[in-house]
Amino acid sequence: MAVDGMNREDGGDREEPEFDAFAPNPNNTPPGSSTGSWPAFRIAPVPAAPPAGTAPPAAAEPSVFTPATPAAASIPAGTPSASRPEGAGTAGGGSSAFTPATPGAASTPSAFRPGGASTAGGGSPAAVPGAPDAGSPVPETTGAAGSGAGAADVDGARPGPGAGDGRAGRRGRVAGAVRAGLVGVTAVAAVAATVGVQWWDRARWVAERYPAEKVTEVATGSSTVLHGVAWQAGVSTGPPGAGDPAGTVTLRATVRLTPRSAAAAAGYEPPAYRFQDRDGHRWTALQSDGPIRLDLRAGQTASATVVGSVPAAARDSAELVLSYSPGETLRFAR
Amino acid sequence: MAAPLRRLADAVVALAIGAAAVYAHTLTLGADELDAPLTSRAEVGATAVTGRFSARLGKVVAARSVRLGDGPDARSLRAGEGEVFVVATVAATAPREPVWLREAWLRTRDGLDYAASDRTGVARGIGRPAQPGWWTERLFVFEVPPEALPGAELVITGPSGNGLYDEIYPGRYDQLRPEAALELTAGDAAATRLLAEVKDSWPLTG
């Protein structure tokens, strides 16, 4: 309190600095606090240098924000940041514009003026090791002891030598880790999106040219219409062929086809046949005899024979498959 | 001073990453590399397994002439000057669907490819594909100089799966075709023995 009183008294003798609303205010960031309090928005005037050996009054005041650092003890009392007004760079500047004359101002600021020595005595900033340039604003956060780290404590992101600086440092490290994590996640997402778009585009290209086969299953004994023709088929074991490989059997399928219209009969083309089991194994099958287009009449059933060889193990499981295209395929269940 | 240096370092790193990304786009395969097949090799008597078919080499015979047909229509075909016929029996099967193996070469130790001879006409068994469940045999006939045999291998390439695109761009866009390379002779001694036992005439059957 005595410090603040002294500041006000002494400040009245100095010229007021020109107010710059956008200039960083060094008083609004007390250590360990990101907001500060209104009474802290003062520009402390340069106090008169106390007599040598005079202990700064505020040095005796307990303050929860006072960093008890070795640096604080090594700097002579009265040296410090009390000279900040000059450091604000506004020649002849005063403090009235930033000094609310509130009753509380006398008591509150001291809590944010650690060390008390910051306002206890005169002295030149140049006398403080590590002090900021005279032309740049210096936050009064660490007082005389914190003059070397005062600039770093403005944003609270860099660790300082005190307890409050430690909390700020931890917060800064956490913020850095969060930021690095966000950058990493964004990078991974960008790469995944890039690869995904190319994958999707290529998959679409392939799907257009190589469409997946769509098979329609025809129940045993029933028929299905495809291309205007009703198809029905049955499979039996045929006599072995002369050149059949050992371990194989010959399957003979009888296909009955009935055109539903004259147009369907006129547009008839023999389909491709094959034998296939449910595990996906395929064997060739050839039509040995069957109708041609001129043989077909609407509503009249014609017959075709399809022959193929399959392994003996597939004698009862191989089914006839009829196909015009991957999307026009019939499988006759056995 | 640290902040500007750090910004400079960040800029350099960003520039390096960008340059590396641009450079990576130049790392592409050439046309020949894109069209190169996937080759599976097998020693004498072993089976070469590809994704679409498996093949193994059976009997190999060298002959100065081959006999085509049976009975009164049979005719003999003599190899060219300084050349011999090499008749190779290949057995093949397929894991899932029929595969027609129509293309074969005799590849020398130096990388020269001899196409299967077309003088013999349609060889027997050419219309029979390799199918799941059993081994299908067929003959391949080559007409080559004897010095091409040591270290040679028989190369069979699977059919193209490009469909329409093969008609538009024959031989192109035919990537990752399976290929089986079967060792024809185990070594120089085997090649010498094969040539020492060259037949005057050999019937093309099977």
Residue-wise pLDDT for A213-270, tens only, equals: 899 999 999 999 999 999 999 999 988 877 788 889 999 999 999 999 999 999 999 9
Q: Is the confidence at residue A155, as pLDDT, over 90?
A: no
User: Please, what is the average pLDDT of chain B?
Assistant: 88
Q: Is the confidence at residue A11, as pLDDT, over 90?
A: no
Q: What is the structure's pLDDT at A209?
A: 80
Q: What is the structure's pLDDT at A124?
A: 40
Of A248, A280, A284, the CB nearest to B98: A284
**What tens digit of pLDDT does each residue of B28-67 get?**
988 788 878 899 999 988 999 999 999 999 999 999 999 9
Where along chain B do its domains lie? 31-203
Can you tell me which residue has the tokens 């040296």? A79
For chain A, list the domains and their CATH numbers: 2-155 (no CATH), 215-332 (2.60.40.1240)
Contact: A247, B132; criterion CB under 8 Å = no
Q: Is the confidence at residue B109, as pLDDT, over 60?
A: yes
Residue pair A256/A302 in contact (Cβ under 8 Å)? The answer is yes
Q: What is the mean pLDDT of residues A163-185?
A: 88
When the candidates are 1.10.3720.10, 2.60.40.1240, 3.30.70.60, 1.10.2020.10, the CATH number that belongs to B31-203 is: 2.60.40.1240
Q: Is the confidence at residue A143, as pLDDT, over 80?
A: no
3-state secondary structure of A302: strand
Q: Is the confidence at residue A102, as pLDDT, over 90?
A: no
* CA–centroid distance for B167 within its chain: 21
Distance CA A267, CA A227 (A): 9
Q: Which residue of B has its CA nearest to A315?
A: B133
Q: Is the confidence at residue A117, as pLDDT, over 90?
A: no
Q: What is the structure's pLDDT at B159?
A: 85
Of A245, A246, A283, the CB nearest to B98: A283
Contact: B134, A311; criterion CB under 8 Å = yes
Q: What is the structure's pLDDT at B29?
A: 85
Tell me which of B37 and A114 has the higher pLDDT: B37
Range with the poorest average pLDDT among A128-137, A201-210, A266-275, B114-123 = A128-137
Whether the complex's predicted ipTM is more than 0.85 is answered with no
Q: Which residue of A has its CA nearest to B100?
A: A284
Distance CA A197, CA A204 (A): 11
Give the number of other CB atoms < 10 A from CB of residue B123.
Answer: 18
Tell me which of B6 and A142 has the higher pLDDT: B6
**What tens digit of pLDDT does each residue of A271-314 get?**
999 999 999 999 999 999 999 999 999 999 999 999 999 999 99
